[in-house]
Amino acid sequence: MLRGIEHAVRIRFLHTRYPHLGSHSGYVQFVQALDKNRFHCSVRASSGSDIDVPSWLVPARPLYKQLVARSQMPWYKQSDLHAELIAFGGGITGRFDIIHFLDGEHSGRYLPQLVKGSGSARPKTVATFHQPPELLKDLLHVGSLRCLDQIVLMSPSQLDFFRPYVAEEKLNVILHGVDTTFFGPKPRLNSSESVRCITVGHWLRDWRTFVHVARAMPEVQFDVVSSRDRVGESLANVQVHRDLDDAALAALYREADILFLPLLESTANNALLEGLASGLAIVASDLEATRAYVPNGAAILVENRPDDFVLAIRRLKTDPALLQEMKTRARVRAEELSWPRLARSYEALYSRLAAPRPGR
């Protein structure tokens, strides 16, 4: 029982389904770590499509199309609108205390404005935003932001973007997390002079730098896991993997020594977190966001100059003691970012939102 709250907090989560993410990856994982006695959760996933709506809604398609076109949010689709309308119905009839849009760039366009005028018993609204400021300015509708009760950000680098539009007390930076039970290191009994690098993902990756580094280090094996890119396939030391299931991905991480992550930009990054949990030494781009996730020497962060990445990887290759130290630091940092630990921050946020106001 929550102090000051007569019932468990009922939360509706709306999120976008990403086909490339497995069942142990992605932001929605934190919902499973919430205290089930204190928080009753229901999750609805949207495909992010303009055609994924029930057949019985075909007559309403013209209206859906019009509302989506007027949304001023390029990633907002008819399936997102449909999910909002269903959540709105549940909210105003008292079935939800809180509605949390887990992918704010895709959703939350109309519902926050609708519920704000629906009376004191309305559900509170929360949205999480994942993209860096350079992209956010073209993805969001500012009026919708102002109607949200709370906003969750994945990196301190996003704060300056939101401050002109949203009161400071509505902004919460809660770092992304990882399943440290599923992603784990492989025990290594013998040291080796050879090292193996892995690069995972496609969004905002600096593939030009990747190719330069792989070409400059033919003695190093580079594994690439990407659902979209075929980068470096012409190089003998690069192997591209596609359509891996969860177990195969975790196994490939464990076989690597270094997570090589050249990035154009970032806020949170699943690959970075999974690499940490897998006990890999991290060599990544030096960005404000990556510094938030791997502080205090938990990684080697360099400017996006290919030769600097080559030097960093070569340093780890020729210094087994440092390589092992970096791997140990990585796993320690991952445990700090495990979902059960981070879930406590969300529970505190939801408890504040659901608590009755003084005098009511």
Tens-place pLDDT, residues 179-201:
999 999 987 655 566 899 999 99
Angle at 116 between CA 111 and CA 119, to 5 degrees: 125
Reply yes or no on whether the pLDDT at 119 is more than 70: no
CATH number assigned to the domain with residue range 9-177+339-354, chosen from the 4 options 2.30.30.140, 3.40.710.10, 3.40.50.2000, 3.90.320.10: 3.40.50.2000
- Compute the distance between CA of residue 123 and CA of residue 141 in angstroms, rounded to an integer: 21
* pLDDT tens-digit map of 150-162: 999 999 999 999 9
Q: How far apart are the first and last CA of the chain?
A: 19
Order of all β-strands in the sheet with 171-173: 39-46, 9-16, 98-101, 124-129, 150-153, 171-173
pLDDT band at 231 (very low <50, low <70, confident <90, very high): confident
pLDDT at 102: 96
| Distances 196 to 214, 256, 257 between C-alpha atoms, Å | 11, 5, 5
User: Pairing between strand 150-153 and 124-129?
Assistant: parallel
pLDDT at 296: 78
Candidate from 55-69, 121-135, 149-163, 223-237 with smallest mean pLDDT: 55-69
Candidate from 80-84, 151-155, 348-352 with smallest mean pLDDT: 80-84
- Range 215-219, long-range pairs (CB < 8 A, 24+ positions): 216/306, 216/307, 216/310, 217/310, 217/313, 217/314, 219/194
pLDDT at 359: 46
* φ, ψ at 199 (rounded to 5°): -130, 125
Reply yes or no on whether the pLDDT at 246 is more than 90: yes
Cβ atoms 108, 85 nearer than 8 A: no
What's the predicted TM-score (pTM) here?
A: 0.91
pLDDT band at 2 (very low <50, low <70, confident <90, very high): very low
**Which residue from 266, 53, 55, 313 is spatially nearest to 153, judged by alpha carbons?**
266
196-336, CATH topology level: Rossmann fold (3.40.50)
Q: What is the mean pLDDT of residues 35-56?
A: 83
| Distances 130 to 58, 207, 250, 256 between C-alpha atoms, Å | 32, 21, 24, 27
Copy the structure tokens of residue 12: 């509706």
Angle at 82 between CA 81 and CA 86, to 5 degrees: 115
- Compute the distance between CA of residue 70 and CA of residue 157 in angstroms, rounded to an integer: 29
pLDDT at 6: 59
pLDDT at 344: 98
Q: What is the mean pLDDT of residues 263-273?
A: 96
pLDDT at 268: 95
| Distances 153 to 13, 34, 352 between C-alpha atoms, Å | 16, 18, 17
pLDDT band at 4 (very low <50, low <70, confident <90, very high): very low
From-to residues of CATH 3.40.50.2000 in the chain: 9-177+339-354, 196-336
Reply yes or no on whether the pLDDT at 358 is more than 80: no
Candidate from 118-127, 294-303, 318-327 with smallest mean pLDDT: 118-127
Reply yes or no on whether the pLDDT at 118 is more than 70: no
